[in-house]
Amino acid sequence: MTGDRERFRPADHPNDHFLLTTVVGSYPKPTWLNRARDLHDDSSAFDDEAWDEAVDDASRLITGEHERAGLDVVCDGEMRREEMVEFFARRIGGYEFNGPVKVWGHNYFDKPSVVSEVTYDEPWLREEYEFTADVAERPVKVPITGPYTLASWSFDEAYGSDETLAYELADLVNEEIAGLVAAGARYIQIDEPALATTPDDHAVVGECLERIVTGLPDGVRIGLHVCYGDYSRIYPELNDYPIDEFDVELANGDYDQLDVFTGDDFEPDLGLGVVDVHTTDVESVTEIEANIREGLRVVPPENLTVSPDCGVKLLPREVARSKIENMVRAARNVENDLDSGAIDAGGRTT
């Protein structure tokens, strides 16, 4: 692992300061892709070959949409994935599906059941990464659902212990990441939203991360994304995690939990959520600049990554695009203010 962020700075970056801008992962699918899926599901006339072509086109389109928004590190908006647990569970041996369950409101996911030993049968994300890296001009990040979340957000009918299941899955995630790194991936984000639900299990997640990074070569950036929880229950413990970056959702709560992180020395880089992904109101550039400056209260600019609170897939596409565009503009403005000395490294107006 390495904390070297400079290799993600674009050659034509306009400012001396560099706030790395990226996304958490998911992005709204183009309407035509959802229609294509329906056709593919319902009709043999839209065959596998046509579906694969549609997904490739969507991946190319959204990767480009991220680049046109000005993001420094991009992904393809997870066009090949329907849901963050389901996608992986369909590729891991030992899982079965019984139907959707509610997350909130009318948002559901196909929560799978583990009915026998989990096994690594095929690469999970290799195709997604290789395609995206091939079409992207900018560096590509690979978000991957973490083992603790894969365990916690499944019904366990086989192991009788979420901890044991999480460790078994961590070994599979390690195998997958080794394959991704061999294919060229250098920026991996482990998504562990389940840690927010059961923060007392921070040590289990720590052990999972140790297993995940075992044997990885230097030069691979590992991020951890956690969202919608009480961060005081996992901090400062997370300072000991073998990660380069910790990415959190804080815009949704208007930074009411930021002080959790200001007390001790925050060890990893901070990935700060600066736009709310659960409201269709597009934050203004000025508003987002203020949010970014909140992050500077925790880490200096060279350790601050800027992203939306979470995946943006539930937003209308136009809203998601506008939020990301404004986010990038705001980051560039804050960099400019840092360069000019209008604000100091702590985000204070000078």
Partner 1 sequence: MYMDRLATTVGLFPLPDGQRERLAELKGHQKSDLIDGNEARATRDAYAATRRHYIDRQREAGLDRLVEGQGRWDDLLAHPLCVHENVRTGGIVRYYDNNNFYREPIVTDELTPSGDVPSELSAAAERCDDLGAVLPGPYSLAGLARDEHYGSSAAFLDGVAEFLAGEVAAFPDAVETLTLLEPGFATEPPDAEASERIGDAIDTVAAATDADVLVHTYWGAPDDGLYRRLLDTDTDGLGYDLVTDPEAATTLAAEHGTPPRVLLGVVDGQNTRVESRQTINDRADRFAKCATTDVDAAYLTPNTGLFHLPVGKFEAKLDALAAATEGAR
The residues of the shown chain that bind partner 1, judged by CB under 8 A, are: 98-108, 111, 113, 152-153, 155-157, 193-194, 196-198, 228-230, 252-253, 276, 278-280, 314
Among residues 247, 262, 213, the alpha carbon closest in space to that of 2 is found at 213
Which residue lies nearer to partner 1 by CB, 15 or 198? Answer: 198
In the complex, minimum distance from the CB of residue 282 to partner 1, in angstroms, rounded to a whole number: 14
Question: How do strand 112-120 and strand 92-97 relate by DSSP bridges?
Answer: antiparallel
Tell me whether the omega of the peptide bond preceding residue 236 falls within 30 degrees of 0, making it cis: yes
Among residues 201, 208, 195, 289, the alpha carbon closest in space to that of 247 is found at 195
In the complex, minimum distance from the CB of residue 126 to partner 1, in angstroms, rounded to a whole number: 27
Among residues 116, 145, 14, 33, the alpha carbon closest in space to that of 80 is found at 33
Which residue lies nearer to partner 1 by CB, 20 or 85? Answer: 85
Which residue lies nearer to partner 1 by CB, 247 or 335? Answer: 247
Among residues 321, 350, 349, 289, the alpha carbon closest in space to that of 19 is found at 289
- As given in the structure block, the two tokens for residue 283 are 């934050």
In the complex, minimum distance from the CB of residue 46 to partner 1, in angstroms, rounded to a whole number: 21
In the complex, minimum distance from the CB of residue 111 to partner 1, in angstroms, rounded to a whole number: 7
In the complex, minimum distance from the CB of residue 283 to partner 1, in angstroms, rounded to a whole number: 14
Which residue lies nearer to partner 1 by CB, 46 or 155? Answer: 155
- As given in the structure block, the two tokens for residue 94 are 């030992």
Among residues 83, 85, 81, the alpha carbon closest in space to that of 156 is found at 85
Which residue lies nearer to partner 1 by CB, 252 or 305? Answer: 252
The DSSP call for residue 47 is -
